[in-house]
Amino acid sequence: MKILNAAAVAVAMLGSVSVAYAAMELPALKAQSTPEAVTAEHVDALNNCSWERLMAQYPDDAQINLPGNVVVAGRAALGDLFAGFCKDHADGGLKGLQFTAISSVTIGNTVVTLWEANAPFLAEPYRGSDAYIEKDGLMQAQVSTFDGAALKMK
């Protein structure tokens, strides 16, 4: 299993890390009331590229597992990953990408979602699936099929 810091992942997937976000202080954690609320907040924050809201969900020991055995672990590394994602498309980011759930099921504290992503800069929709693992009202872990390199751009 590869454990990479988010800067390397962001460069590989989206380009260089945004210094504007990377230099920002991580916001206070904000727990949600249910696993579904954690997932809804995550998707809405991602769709709006709200770095502060995204990072208010992830505790220090959180992690995201991505394709290729890539694991982004720790709050600071996740902050760097989302900083790269939330850059404008012209700057190598994916700001404007909109995720819509096709189906979801909650099993215990995990929400498993099949989704579709669309954006004006995509040549066609991109489909994937995520498992969002909630603990104490926060996003403890995520297992994702998202692969930025597989997006078909216009």
Predicted local confidence at residue 24, as pLDDT:
75
Is the distance from CB of 61 to CB of 141 less than 8 angstroms? no
The pTM (predicted TM-score) of the whole model is 0.86
Is the distance from CB of 120 to CB of 114 less than 8 angstroms? no
Per-residue pLDDT of the chain (154 residues; tens, 9 = 90+): 544 444 344 434 444 444 455 557 999 999 999 999 999 999 999 999 999 999 999 999 999 999 999 999 999 999 999 999 999 999 999 999 999 999 999 999 999 999 999 999 999 999 999 999 999 999 999 999 999 999 999 9
Q: Rounded to an integer, what distance in angstroms lies between the CA atom of residue 47 and that of residue 95?
A: 8
Q: Rounded to an integer, what distance in angstroms lies between the CA atom of residue 67 and that of residue 110?
A: 19
Is the distance from CB of 126 to CB of 102 less than 8 angstroms? no
CB under 8 Å to 47, separation ≥6 — which residues?
97, 98, 99
In SS3 terms, 117-149 reads as EECCCECCCEEEEEEEEEECCEEEEEEECCCHH
CA separation, residue 124 to residues 61, 104, 132 (Å)? 35, 22, 25
pLDDT digits (tens, 9 = 90+) for 13-29: 444 444 455 557 999 99
Which residues is 35 bridged to in the sheet? none
Is the distance from CB of 31 to CB of 137 less than 8 angstroms? yes
DSSP states of 10-50: HHHHHSSPPHHHHTSPPPPP---SSHHHHHHHHHHHHHTT-
